A = this chain, B = another copy of it.
Amino acid sequence: MRASGKSRNVTMSDVARHARVSRTAVSFVLAGRSDTSVSPQTRDRILDAVRDLGYRPNAGARALAAQRSGLFGLITEIVTAPFAVDVIKGAQERAWEDRKFLLIASSEDRADMAEAAVEKLLEQRVEGLLYAATWHRAVQVPKAAGEVPTVLVNCFDAEGRFPSVVPDEIGGGRRATERLLAAGHERIGFINLDPGIPAAVGRLEGYRQALTDAGIHPDPDLVISGHATADSGYDAAGRLLDLPDRPTALFCGNDRMAMGAYDAVRERALRIPEDIAIVGFDNQELIAAYLRPALTTVALPFEEMGRTAVSLLGSLIAAGDQGKTDGQPIDTKVTIDCPLLERSSVRP
């Protein structure tokens, strides 16, 4: 017989009493510990009692006693971010595998908010912190974050105090370019993001590497910097397409620019991918999947970064528990692959 609804106040003592054993026994059984054994009989009695009473452990009390909250904190600018979701998803999943719970706090991209978030999270006694940005860049992490193991996601600490997990921009740039080369293109235009940011630097580097490796000398005229918007992509693509010896393929720094490029191509009565092949970057589903033809693009591995970051955080914490914190900053920078998603804007 199951107990009725409200199991609010059923405590471990209740279970112990009901099963006619000590609280210790209950604790051991529930923790599934093997170091001290309990007879199968009492074990069953206890489990039955748990069920009958509808007992639900009190995580807070457990945390207090065990000095381990089982909580990880994730700070992110959830505000602007269709992206953040995937990081959260990956982190969430990985955390559950470790039976950890993720406390998510929004930094709103404001230093004071981020600081408040860290503070709040620390009050909850999170065992570690994840700090995620919506776009790959250097960030200023609130000082207090140093009090627990912290991993940066899709961003890095300029001072190298924290390990981070970032996308492999260079590899992504290579992959996009190689796909175009494989389709037989040799004059490949590149519409880059605002110069200087890690994504622009890396993708350009990848683009160059791929061309060079293919024995093609990168033509500077085919590289233009834009501003990450559809309009900017439209303009840049227009200029590239109006070149005397125009490219037969366009690698766009992101999907929004690719969206603009589509318009420029269409205006010139050219077809995609027959006349002009296009590859984007970011895999913004809403754009890439719904453009016509659907856009072949390189994906940013947000989910994977979230997963990896939690794994890394777990190791750091474990290392710390064993007293391995030697105080020196762990300047790890884990790089995650950016896979290419085939759709229809490049011919097979």
Residues 203-221 of chain A, each 1 if its beta carbon lies under 8 Å from chain B, else 0: 0000000000000000000
Q: Report the minimum CB–CB distance from A183 to chain B (whole Å).
A: 24
Stretch touching chain B among A19-27, A117-125, A165-173, A334-342? A117-125
Is the beta-carbon distance between B56 and A60 smaller than 8 angstroms? no
Is the beta-carbon distance between A123 and B57 smaller than 8 angstroms? yes
With A60-B60, A64-B60 known as contacts, the answer to whether A101 contacts B120 (CB < 8 A) is yes
Is the beta-carbon distance between B81 and A290 smaller than 8 angstroms? no
In the complex, chain A residues 23-66 whose Cβ is within 8 Å of any chain B Cβ: 56-61, 63-64
In the assembly, what is the distance between CA of A85 and CA of B78, in Å?
Answer: 7
Cβ contacts under 8 Å, A263 to chain B = 292
Q: Report the minimum CB–CB distance from A341 to chain B (whole Å).
A: 16
Cβ contacts under 8 Å, A103 to chain B = 101, 103
With most chain B CB atoms within 10 A of its CB, the pick from A81, A229, A230 is A230
Residues 169-200 of chain A, each 1 if its beta carbon lies under 8 Å from chain B, else 0: 00000000000000000000000000000000
In the assembly, what is the distance between CA of A58 and CA of B123, in Å?
Answer: 5
Q: Report the minimum CB–CB distance from A314 to chain B (whole Å).
A: 18
In the complex, chain A residues 271-287 whose Cβ is within 8 Å of any chain B Cβ: 284-287
Stretch touching chain B among A3-11, A156-164, A235-243, A244-252? A3-11
- By beta carbon, the residue of chain B nearest A106 is B92
A104 at the interface (CB under 8 A from B): yes
Which of the residues B5, B57, B104, B125 comes within 8 Å of A60, measured between beta carbons? B125
A88 at the interface (CB under 8 A from B): yes
A256 at the interface (CB under 8 A from B): yes
A151 at the interface (CB under 8 A from B): no
- By beta carbon, the residue of chain B nearest A5 is B147
Q: Report the minimum CB–CB distance from A302 to chain B (whole Å).
A: 12
Is the beta-carbon distance between A89 and B106 smaller than 8 angstroms? yes
Cβ contacts under 8 Å, A64 to chain B = 58, 60-61, 64
Q: Report the minimum CB–CB distance from A41 to chain B (whole Å).
A: 27
In the assembly, what is the distance between CA of A84 and CA of B6, in Å?
Answer: 30
A305 at the interface (CB under 8 A from B): no
Q: Report the minimum CB–CB distance from A80 to chain B (whole Å).
A: 9
Cβ contacts under 8 Å, A84 to chain B = 85
In the assembly, what is the distance between CA of A63 and CA of B125, in Å?
Answer: 12
Q: Beyond A60-B60, A60-B124: 17 further Cβ-contacts under 8 Å?
A: A5-B146, A59-B125, A60-B63, A60-B125, A79-B89, A81-B85, A82-B82, A85-B85, A92-B105, A101-B103, A101-B124, A103-B103, A259-B290, A260-B292, A266-B266, A287-B287, A287-B290
5 A-B pairs within 8 Å (CB atoms) are namely: A6-B147, A8-B147, A78-B92, A82-B286, A104-B104
